[in-house]
Homo-oligomer: A and B are copies of this chain.
Amino acid sequence: MSAGPKQVLILGGGFAGVYTARRLEKLLRPEEACITLINRENYWVYQPMLPEVISGSIGLTNVVSPIRRLCPRTNLIMREVEVINLQKQIVTISPGFRPRELQLKYDHLVIALGSVTDFHGMPGMVENAMPFRTLADAMVLRNHLIHVLEEADVEENPELRRQLLTFVVGGGGFSGVEVMAELNDFVRSVKKNYLRLCNEPHRCVIVQAGDRILPEMSETLAIFAQRILRKRGVEIILNDRVKSATSEKAILQSDNEIPCKTLISTVPSALPPVIQKLDCPNERGKLLVNTRLELKNYEGKVWALGDCACVKTVAGTQVPPTAQHAIREAAIAAINIAAAVRSGECAEFGFEGRGTLGSLGHGTAIAQICGVKLSGFLAWCLWRCVYLMKMPGLNRKVRIVADWLLHLLFPPELAQTKVAFESGIRKQHFEPGDIIFEQGDLGDNVYVIEEGECEVLHEQKNEQKLLATLNRGECFGEMALLSNRTRSATIRARNATNVLIIPKADFDKLRRSVPAFGEVFGELVKRRSPEGAPHSFLETAGCCGGHPIPTPVAESELGPPAGFAPTELS
C-alpha cells in the first residue's frame, strides 16, 4: 500500500491531543505511523487540579506531566503552530533558537488546540485581568497574591489596604468557583503570618452573569455551593458581569465598581487565531465536525476535537468542553485515524457524560454522578479519589498523595517563586477621572496617549489648577525621567484613555541608541522646562508633560509602616 510510515500530526497537548497520541501509540505500530505532537509547553496540564497550585496543596510541577513520558513514542516539538494549510497538508511552526520556520507535512492531522482567552470589547481587561488556564497562569496568580499581601502589610492607607486585600473572580462556573475557593483558603491561612494583617478582613467576590453560580450543575447543588461559599466569606454577585478594568478596579455591567488589585477572569474564550484563519465551517465559534470527529471536506485527513471543536454525540447532544469528554473524543479520533491508516472500521462519538465534580475548598465539594447528588466532605473525598485515579502514571499519583499529606501537617507555602519582574513596554487602560500619576510620585515611566484625553493638574497651596489637556499621540512623564525623579504635576484621564507605558530602563536604552527617539524627548523637555515665563507651558502645549512651574522637588513621602518608627523624620 503506502511506502513508509504515515505522518500523523497532532496539534495541541491538552487532554484531547495527549490522549489521542497515547491511544495511537497503542493502536498503530511504529512502521505504520510516525506520531508527532506540537505543543507550546513540554508538559500536559492536569486542569482539574490546577487551582490547588494556588494554595500549594500540590507542588508546582506535580499538577503537570511531561508529555515525553506520557507518550514515549511520540515526537514532541515544543513550538507554536503558526499556519495550518489544509489544502497542501502542511503545518508551519514557529522558529526556535535559529530564526527559521519549520514546515511539517502530514498525512493525518488532529487539531486539538483548545481555546484562548478573548477580551475583545472589554477595555482594560487584557492589561489587568489574569486568566487561569495554564501552569504559568497559576504561578503568576500565586506570586501576585503573595505580592499583594506583602504590600498590604506595609501599606498605611486603610483604603489602599482594603483594595489590596480585595480579590475578584469574573465567572461563576466550575473554574471560577474552584479558583476562588482555593484563593480564599490560601489568603485566610497565610494572613496569620503577616503581623499587620492577621486581624484585617479580606474581600472575595465572584461575579456571575446568570442568576446562580455553577450552571453546569443542578440548581440544588448550586444553591448549596453558594451557601457554603458565602459562609466562608465569599461575596457572590449575580446577574452582572465584569465589563472593563483598570489597574485599580473592576467595573461591572451595572456600573458598580470594585476597587481591587486582583482580578481573575475565567470567562470569555475564543478559537485560537491560527484556527480562526482556516476557511472551515464553524458553529458557535468552534470547528464543525461530524460524529467521527472529522472536519468537513477533509474526512479521513483531518480531525478536530477538544475545546476547539463543536462535537455532537450520535444522539445529537452538544458535548461540553470538559476533560472526560475530551478523553473519549481522543479515543474515537485515534480509532478513526488507525482506520484511515490501515483501512479498518470507524467509530462514532456517543459518550453522554458521567457527571460533574467540583471542589469548594476547605474539605467541601459537590458532586452529581449518574443522577446521584452529593455534597460536603464525602463529595470532597470522592472528588480527590476520582481525580487522583484519573491522573496518569504512578509517579504523579505518589507525589500528589505525598503533597496532600504534607499539606495536612504543615501550613501552606509562602515563598514567592517569581522569576522575571514585570517590565517592558506595555499598555494600560484608564477610566474617566482616573489618576494616571500624582504630583510627588516617583517617575519611573513615560506615557504616550493612544486613545483619549488627559488633563494636567498642578496643585499649589491646596489649590488645584488645570494647566492643559493632552490628546492622542501626545506624551507625558518624560520630565521626571530626564531631570528630577518626582512628578511635578498630576495627570488625570478625562475620558476612557489607553496609554502606552515605556519604563525608564527601556526609555533610557532607546534614547541613547536611537538618536531620533532621544531628540523628540529632548526637545519636549526643552520646550516644557520652566526657563523663561513660568506659564510657558500653555503656550507650548502642543505636546506636554505637565512640568511647567519651577516648584521645588517634592520631598519623598515619609510613610513608615504601622509597626515602625514613630520617630520624627528630618
Which residues of A pack against B, CB within 8 Å?
A: 4, 7, 34, 36, 41-43, 56, 59-61, 64-66, 68-69, 72-73, 75-79, 88, 90, 92, 95-106, 135-136, 139-140, 146-147, 150-151, 153-155, 160, 164, 193-195, 261, 395, 398-399, 402, 406, 409-411, 413-420, 423-425, 427, 437, 440-444, 448, 450, 473, 475, 500, 502, 506, 509-510, 512-517, 519-520, 556-561, 563-567, 569-570
Closest to A104 in B: B560
A402 to B98, CA, bound (A): 40
Separation of A309 and B88 alpha carbons in the complex (Å): 67
| Contact A564:B34 (CB < 8 A) given known A77-B154, A95-B442, A515-B473 | yes
Q: Are A139 and B419 in contact (CB under 8 A)?
A: yes
Given A78-B147, A135-B417: 16 more A-B contacts, CB < 8 Å: A34-B564, A42-B416, A56-B61, A59-B60, A78-B154, A79-B154, A96-B155, A97-B261, A98-B155, A98-B441, A100-B440, A100-B556, A419-B420, A424-B506, A473-B513, A514-B517
Once A66-B415, A68-B194, A261-B97 are accepted as A-B contacts, the answer to whether A448 and B42 lie under 8 Å apart by CB is no
Q: Which residues of B contact A139 (CB under 8 A)?
A: 417, 419
Contacts of A103 in B (CB 8 A): 556, 558, 560, 569
- With A193-B72, A406-B399, A425-B425 known as contacts, the answer to whether A98 contacts B419 (CB < 8 A) is no
Which residue from chain B places its CB closest to the CB of A558 in the assembled complex?
B103
A516 contacts B513, CB within 8 Å? Answer: no
Chain B residues with CB below 8 A from A567, complex form: 7, 105
- How far in angstroms is the closest Cβ of chain B from A157? 8
CB of A494, distance to nearest CB on chain B (Å): 18
- Residues from chain B with Cβ under 8 Å of A100 in the complex: 440-442, 556-557, 559
Number of copies of this chain that the complex holds: 2
Please, which residues of chain B bring their CB within 8 A of the CB of A506? Answer: 424-425, 506
Q: Is the CB of B442 within 8 A of A99?
A: yes
Instruction: Report chain B residues within 8 Å CB of A76.
Output: 150, 153
Contact A68 B557 (CB under 8 A): no
How long is the Cα–Cα vector from A105 to B558 in the complex, in angstroms?
10
- A520/B513 contact (C-beta < 8 A), A64-B415, A414-B42 known: no
Contact: A43 with B415, CB < 8 Å?
yes
Question: Is the CB–CB distance between B448 and A102 below 8 Å?
Answer: no
Q: B164 near A97 (CB under 8 angstroms)?
A: yes
Please, which residues of chain B bring their CB within 8 A of the CB of A395? 409-411
Chain B residue at minimum C-beta to C-beta distance from A78: B150
Once bound together, how far apart are the Cα atoms of A43 and B155, in whole Å?
20
Closest B residue to A426 using CB positions = B509
Q: Is the CB of B415 within 8 A of A65?
A: yes
A544 to B558, CA, bound (A): 51
A416-B43, A569-B103 known; A514+B509 contact, CB < 8 A: no
Inter-chain contact A561/B406, CB cutoff 8 Å? no
- Taking CB atoms, residues of chain B closer than 8 Å to A416 are 41-43, 78
Residue of B nearest to A44 (CB): B415
Which single residue of chain B is at the shortest CB-CB distance from A65? B415
B60 lies within 8 A of A99 (CB): no
Q: For the complex, give the distance between the alpha carbons of A560 and B64 in Å.
A: 28
Instruction: Assess whether A398 is in contact with B402, with CB atoms less than 8 Å apart.
Output: no
Which residue of the partner chain, among B66, B104, B195, contacts A414 with CB atoms under 8 Å?
B66
Q: Are B563 and A34 in contact (CB-based, < 8 A)?
A: yes
CB distance from A39 to the nearest CB of B (A): 10
Contact A193 B69 (CB under 8 A): yes
A136 & B418 in contact (Cβ 8 Å cutoff): yes
How many angstroms from the CA of A565 to the CA of B77 in the assembled complex? 14
- Chain B nearest CB: distance from A437 CB in Å? 7
Contacts of A398 in B (CB 8 A): 406, 409-410
Given contacts A425-B425, A514-B448, A516-B520, contact A104 B564 (CB under 8 A): yes
Residues of B within 8 A of A102 (CB): 154, 557-561
Question: With a CB–CB cut-off of 8 A, which chain B residues contact A512?
Answer: 450
A101 and B560 contact, CB distance less than 8 A? no
Cα A69 to Cα B413 with chains together (Å): 10
**How many Å from the CB of A353 to the closest CB on chain B?**
29
- Max count, chain B CB within 10 A of own CB: residue among A69, A419, A517: A419
A43-B416, A66-B193, A418-B136 given as contacts; is B105 within 8 A of A569 (CB)?
Answer: yes
A56 to B4, CA, bound (A): 40
Q: Which residues on B sit within 8 Å (CB–CB) of A520? A: 514, 516-517
Q: Determine which residue in A78, A140, A415 has the highest number of CB atoms from chain B within 10 A of its CB, and name it.
A: A415
Question: Do residues B61 and A413 form an inter-chain contact, with CB atoms below 8 A?
Answer: yes
Q: Which residues of B contact A153 (CB under 8 A)?
A: 75-76
Q: For the complex formed, measure the closest distance between the CB of A375 and the CB atoms of chain B, giving whole angstroms.
A: 32
